[in-house]
């Protein structure tokens, strides 16, 4: 990830919001946003990080600060769903707001069963 110098002269990593596609079987599990039933929507996980989306996906799959949903059901990074969220500066407060915004946008779309995004 690129670094930049913030207004206080400190080097910061650029943060991003990412989307990971999940296996449809995630929706039928207890605790899923779909209510444990197969809802027919596309399950995706939304998160934010200072790593690339691919690096973060690999971390989830390896169990490093992992969401159980991505660890157990993650299939691939869905870069096309996170367009416009690739460079949010170094402030994690900004990226957390953007994460929630994208998650809500995908929920409102109606085609996605969204995990994460908090």
At 62-117, the pLDDT tens digits run 999 999 999 999 999 999 999 999 888 878 889 999 999 999 999 999 999 999 99
Q: Where are the alpha helices (DSSP H) in 1-118?
A: 53-62, 68-73, 92-109
The two structure tokens encoding residue 67? 């969401």
Domain that holds residue 75: 3-116
The two structure tokens encoding residue 72? 């157990």
Quote the number of domains for the chain.
1
Global confidence as pTM = 0.90
The two structure tokens encoding residue 12? 């910061």
Return all residues near 72 (Cβ < 8 A) that are at least 6 apart: 26
CB 44 within 8 A of CB 115: yes
């Amino acid at each position: 990830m690129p670094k930049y110098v913030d207004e206080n002269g400190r080097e910061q990593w650029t943060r991003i919001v990412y989307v990971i596609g999940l296996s449809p079987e995630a929706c039928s599990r207890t605790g899923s946003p779909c209510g444990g039933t197969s809802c027919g929507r596309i399950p995706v996980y939304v998160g934010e990080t200072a790593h690339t989306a691919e690096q973060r996906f690999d971390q989830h799959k390896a169990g490093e600060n992992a969401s159980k949903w991505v660890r157990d059901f993650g299939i691939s990074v869905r870069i096309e769903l996170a367009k416009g969220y690739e460079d949010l500066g170094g402030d994690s407060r900004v990226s957390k707001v953007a994460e929630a915004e994208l998650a809500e946008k995908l929920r409102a779309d109606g085609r996605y069963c969204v995990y994460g995004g908090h």
